[in-house]
Amino acid sequence: MKATDEGAPLLFVHSIKRSAMKLVSLSALLLCLLFRSLPAQPYQRVTQLALSPAQVNGTWSNGHNTFRIRLLSDGRLQLDFDGAYSYRTPRGERMANVGTFVGLATVDGNIARISNVNEAPECRIILTFSDARLAVVQEGMCGFGNGVTADGTYKRTSQKVPKIIAIEGEE
């Protein structure tokens, strides 16, 4: 080979490397532009249809506790809870501890959730509506009286839309 031809294979390899690098860079740029143009949440989980007023509005009781519930136009529930824990003292006197809250719950399908009840950050209350029953689970301490909990299965005692004290964020 001539002196000028000896570097030809090396130049050819460098040319291929440069072309490959340009192709990778261009591909990366196109991917960035593609992902940037997609919405932040391209797929949303499909949930069950929202609860209707006929399913939730009214007064719900389990014998010791009462929830008054009203469905708002934005799909949230306004809740008013009164709970009690009854007991007898060693002398036989009847006593009760009580707990209350008013708040707004978010709804996903037939499940409503409210947290930070009575400004207790560890408190979460989950309400599940099914048929003519309301199942309630309380997680954490909610600042109620000693022994008072929202846990339980509730039956609707009235379908009348309750009047609940106005709270911040309500319509």
Global pTM reads 0.68
Q: What is the 3 state secondary structure string of 10-27?
A: HHHHHHHHHHHHHHHHHH
What tens-digit pLDDT sequence spans the chain (171 residues)? 455 555 556 555 556 666 666 665 656 655 555 555 544 444 334 344 578 999 999 999 999 999 999 999 999 999 999 999 999 999 999 999 999 999 999 999 999 999 999 899 999 999 999 988 999 999 999 999 999 999 999 999 999 999 887 655 544
- Burial label, 102 (beta-carbon count in 10 A; 0-12, 13-18, 19+): middle
Question: Is the distance from CB of 59 to CB of 160 less than 8 angstroms?
Answer: yes
Round to whole Å and give the CA distance between 26 and 35: 14
